[in-house]
Amino acid sequence: MLTGIVLSQADGRPMYLQIMEQIRRLVAVGEWKAAQPLPSIRQLAVDLNISVITVKRAYLELEREGIIATQHGKGSVVAAAPDVSTRIYEPELARHLEDAARVAALLGLSPRELQRRLRDVTDRIADIMKEST
């Protein structure tokens, strides 16, 4: 089964975290739809040439997050929750905003100046998105 998951030895993160991140993104962008079956733990381990334990840990963490659902003996599927994309990206957005506020403070920018810059960026992105449709 072709999964689209690619692991990198050069990435400093553990393999299970790389698997989790890539599955989250596949679900968030809609490439993997609700109720779609995931490869079995054993099959994904073979496909990626890694330990079954590594894949099992990734699946258990994803199940705990509500991204996937597992039924013993039947395998794992993408969870049917409609807000999966929001749950995946909300913490990432919060981290980026905190980082931006921290850097702005280091640069001595006022909150108002940071807001202006954020508005400029969002306006520019919105224009790009309009042009691409």
Task: Output the six-digit token pair for 125.
Answer: 């992105």
**Shared-domain flag, residues 22 and 73:** yes
Asked whether residue 2 is assigned to any structural domain, the reply reads: no
pLDDT of residue 82: 58
pLDDT confidence of residue 90: 83
Higher pLDDT, 12 or 132: 12
Give the chain's mean pLDDT. 90
Confirm whether 118 is domain-assigned: yes
What global pTM score does this model have?
A: 0.68
- Which pLDDT band, with edges at 50, 70 and 90, does 2 fall under? low
- Looking at the structure, tell me whether residues 67 and 49 fall in a common domain: yes
Domain enclosing residue 39, as ranges: 15-78
At 30-66, the pLDDT tens digits run 889 989 999 999 999 999 999 999 999 999 999 998 8
Mean pLDDT of 103-127: 95
Give the mean model confidence (pLDDT) for residues 103-132: 93
